[in-house]
A and B are shown apart, each in its own frame.
Chain A
Amino acid sequence: MSERNNKGVSRRQFLNYCLTGVGGFLAAGMLAPMVKFAIDPALQKAGAAGGKVPVASLSEITEEPKSISFKKKIVDVWTGEQETPLTAWIYKQGDQVIALSPICKHLGCTVNWNGDEKHKEQFFCPCHLGRYEKNGKNVPGTPPMKPLDQYEVEVKDGKILLGEVKANKIAEGA
């Protein structure tokens, strides 16, 4: 027997390896579908872009950012389409209409135009005193690390239509 043991693997060890292997295979076969089932939402691609919805008429909008509330239908899995309330800060810049998302890029609170008396002409987040310029650019030294997001805007027949929220493009130029 000692000769055999010198070769490295004893009979007991060999059986142990076999049993562990078979047991591991069975456990994996059982758990793999369940784990995939659980992590499936994390593996999904972002949903297709929804259509644009009319939110206001062009005549309402001035150079001063105005808070416009609107509703958009968002599909929430088995519950179907849900009317979801959203808000945008909309203003004119020359011929261009700009619509900024009110969601602070720090931790997602809601920002206000002229919300802070000490800092006029800025967006202000009351949660951690984050501030943004009119074009959405985050003020250095305040918590947010990125400019406010921008809605896709379309003007049609004097109506303003808003689409998806995208990363801010106008703040870089300013």
Chain B
Amino acid sequence: MIRKMYDWVDERLNVTPMWRDIADHEVPEHVNPAHHFSAFVYCFGGLTFFITVIQILSGMFLTMYYVPDIINAYESVKYLQNEVAFGVIVRGMHHWGASLVIVMMFLHTLRVFFQGAYKRPRELNWVVGMLIFFVMLGLGFTGYLLPWDNKAYFATKVGIQIAEQVPFIGGFIKTLLQGGPIVGAETLARFFAIHVFFLPGALFALLGAHFIMIRRQGISGPL
């Protein structure tokens, strides 16, 4: 049945070449762990992406209950974690995944660095990778405030004070991040917007560029 449905669509829209383009490509022997076990280091990029997908999905579901408001934020997190079915698991995925994505990204970066895979002609992809790294750190920083508990509040205070140390424009950056003179209602609303709209948007664009480039240029050769 599925075969027939696929054929029906394919006959009209010729979709086979589209997904073949994405899915069908040769994996060189030197990146296949079945040939050389040490090739498992090539998995870290894919694992980073896999966890990113989990983050996006679990984050989407969390916003069904979460409210970015100083009176209700903590209570809504408490409610979704303790009262809603599987709340502790869905929030747990987002919580632990956030740390894991940084770890995986770091390992991926180490592999690229020590293999010299960033060298010509792949310099641009290294730069895009670094931008992704900073976007991920931004997601971690903004997401940390959202539960609006003591840890979140003081971590953000310290984070903003670090940003304030920038010469000349520090004060401006601080106000821009806080949205006002204190870490308060405006900060929470703005961190939420940055966390769920602005940074994910930037992340999608950068990931797209990252993947298109790796497909254009192929995986770097063996050491």
Using a CB–CB cutoff of 8 Å, the interface residues on chain A facing chain B are 30-31, 33-34, 36-38, 40, 43, 77-79
Contacts and interface: CB of A to CB of B under 8 A. Distances in A.
A38 B58 CA distance: 10
Chain A interface, DSSP helix/strand/loop, else mixed: helix
A37 B90 contact: yes
Contact of A40 (B58, B84, B89): B84
A43 B58 CA distance: 20
Interface in B119-142: none
A43 B85 CA distance: 10
Nearest to B87: A37
B8 interface: no
A60 to B, nearest CB: 38
A13 to B, nearest CB: 12
B86 A33 contact: yes
Interface residues of B, number: 19
Scoring B64, B78, B85, B93 by chain A CB atoms within 10 A of each residue's CB, the highest score goes to B85
B90 A30 contact: no
Contacts of A34: 57-58, 61, 86, 90
B41 to A, nearest CB: 22
Given A33-B90, A37-B85, A78 B61 contact: no
Given A40-B85, A79-B75, 17 more contacts: A30-B57, A30-B93, A33-B93, A34-B61, A36-B85, A36-B86, A37-B61, A37-B84, A37-B87, A40-B86, A43-B85, A77-B79, A78-B72, A78-B75, A78-B76, A78-B78, A79-B72
Interface of B: 54, 57-58, 61, 64, 72, 75-76, 78-80, 83-87, 89-90, 93
Contacts of A78: 72, 75-76, 78-79
A21 B86 CA distance: 24
Contacts of A37: 61, 64, 80, 84-87, 89-90
A36 B90 CA distance: 10
Contacts of B84: 37, 40
Nearest to B73: A78
A82 to B, nearest CB: 12
A33 B97 CA distance: 15
Contact of A38 (B64, B79, B83): B64
Contact of B57 (A31, A36, A40, A79): A31
A29 to B, nearest CB: 11
B72 A33 contact: no
Contacts of B93: 30, 33
